[in-house]
Structure 1
Amino acid sequence: MIKNLTSWAFSDSSVQHSLGNNFRQKRMALFKKQLEKLKKPVKILDVGGYEEFWINAGMANVPGIHITILNLEAGETTYNNFEIVKGDGTNLSAYENNSFDIGFSNSVIEHLYNRGQQKKMAEEIIRVGRYHYVQTPNKYFIIEPHYLLPYFQFIPKKVRFFILTKTKFSRFKKWSKKEAQQYLDEILLLSKKDMKELFPSSKLTKEKFIGMTKSFVVHNFKD
């Protein structure tokens, strides 16, 4: 019982039936409602995403929906409506303005090291998509989602490095020095104010958990 509860609460969001995946599926249900309003075919550019995300969302081989998944490496896929390409989310110059119906990104923009890179990605997603939908964790949520530790984001970086590499407090494992340093360098969480500055003309919605804002979604879908 305890083992199952721990697995549910602390597993990665990609794991089905986990708490994180439950949030993701609710979020995607709202996205799909907006998607249904658009005339088919619909072209989606997922910046920084993975094929498994869309499979889990039930979007594989859906007629009238083509999803280009852009990440650091290209890949093969067996699904006829997926395309996996290599690219940089901060430089989408390979695509013209409004090349896609939707520019999409889920929990990626906080992994870009600095605000300048985040601004570039926001501008590019807005430019290449007629509509956009971008999600990111809330900087001020009680649990830091990448490490699953309370207010870990506000601890000095050297202390965080020590905790990650010398203890099993984060996700019940000792992180390797390389992995810990990579995450500590790249993650820059965003607040509501930050998201409004990056997406000034977008609508912002809050994902709630026990009365607290867990994450933000910005979009420009019509009501």
Structure 2
Amino acid sequence: MALHSLRFRLVDSPTSYGAKRRARRAAWLSNTFPDLAEMSVLDLGGRVESWAGLPVRPAHVHVVNLEPLPAELPDWADADHADACELPTEILSRRYDLVFSNSVLEHVGGHERRRRMAVAVRELAPAYWVQTPYRYFPIEPHWVAPGMQFLPVPTRVVIARRWPLAYTPGKSYEAAMRQVLTTELIGRAELRYLFPDATIRNERLMGLTKSIIAIRKP
């Protein structure tokens, strides 16, 4: 429990390093897209509340997620329950100024589904920002476990169940297996392949690349 509390202090609390890193990323986003406050944004896999407290918020945000939808939405947001790799026609027929996705690409379920998501991202707006944790950073970010992404599946399942810095240590075998099999970090080569018209930026920690971001400006 002490280590799990440490995770909260380091990663999840409002004053943690993780929170400060997310704030810097938000500033980077608004600096990259100076017209963000006037933009219509499609957020694949995000949450409405993530946008609510930003210093610069888009004029309109359309969130698409497989999670349950919020009971109430602000007037600047829409939300749909849908798969980012199999978007319904009513979303594919729309156009946005920017498609945004943060730490979702590694969870969609294999290269083919990542490719489908990338096609939708590139077609739905003239600009996009797609961030994903970097496979070769030495700490696996979801479990905060050194080198976990390079281990065999059975070993990763054991870590997912028992590692005290995981979000929910002590989960069932089935839940841990599902989480492990739907977390697949990628490197720069695949991100460049998925988004050939993007600039790839590195987000660093202590000089090492922690996450990679595919960015296309309008």
**Deviation of the 1:138 alpha carbon:** 0.1
Q: TM-score scaled to structure 1, two decimals?
A: 0.86
**Deviation of the 1:6 alpha carbon:** 5.1
**Which of 201, 207, 212 is the aligned partner of 1:211?**
207
**Deviation of the 1:53 alpha carbon:** 1.5
Letter in 1 for 2:29: F
1:50 match:
47
Is 1:77 aligned with 2:72?
yes
Output the CA distance in 1 between the equivalents of 2:176 and 2:141.
Answer: 14
Q: TM-score scaled to structure 2, two decimals?
A: 0.88
1:22 match:
20
Asked whether the equivalents of residues 200 and 212 of structure 2 are also in contact (C-alpha less than 8 Å), the reply is yes
**Deviation of the 1:76 alpha carbon:** 3.1
1:154-173 counterparts in 2 under 5 A?
154-166=150-162, 168=164, 170=166, 173=169
Output the CA distance in 2 between the equivalents of 1:97 and 1:78.
Answer: 22
**Which of 130, 133, 136 is the aligned partner of 2:132?**
136
1:95 match:
91
Please list every run of 5 or more consecutive structure 2 residues that lacks an aligned counterpart in the other structure.
none
Is 1:65 aligned with 2:63?
no
3-state SS in 2 of match to 1:57: coil
1:122 match:
118
Residue by residue, what CA displacement relative to the aligned partner does 1:50-95 show, whole Å, maximum 9, x if unpaired? 1221124345xx5x61000111143333422111111111123323
RMSD, matched Cα: 2.4
Output the CA distance in 2 between the equivalents of 1:161 and 1:209.
Answer: 27
Letter in 1 for 2:19: N
3-state SS in 1 of match to 2:100: strand
2:34 match:
36
Asked whether the equivalents of residues 113 and 186 of structure 1 are also in contact (C-alpha less than 8 Å), the reply is yes
3-state SS in 1 of match to 2:29: helix
Q: Cα–Cα, structure 1 residues 180 and 172, in superposed 2: closer, same or farther, change >3 Å?
A: closer
Asked whether the equivalents of residues 77 and 84 of structure 1 are also in contact (C-alpha less than 8 Å), the reply is no
Q: Alignment identity in percent?
A: 26
Output the CA distance in 1 between the equivalents of 2:80 and 2:93.
Answer: 18
Please list every run of 5 or more consecutive structure 1 residues that lacks an aligned counterpart in the other structure.
none
Is 1:187 aligned with 2:188?
no
Query: Please, which moves more after superposition, 67-76 or 169-178?
Result: 169-178
Asked whether the equivalents of residues 97 and 127 of structure 1 are also in contact (C-alpha less than 8 Å), the reply is no
Q: Cα–Cα, structure 1 residues 130 and 182, in superposed 2: closer, same or farther, change >3 Å?
A: same
Asked whether the equivalents of residues 143 and 163 of structure 2 are also in contact (C-alpha less than 8 Å), the reply is no
Output the CA distance in 2 between the equivalents of 1:142 and 1:79.
Answer: 39
Q: Which has the higher contact order (CA 8 A, sep 6+)?
A: 2
3-state SS in 1 of match to 2:185: coil
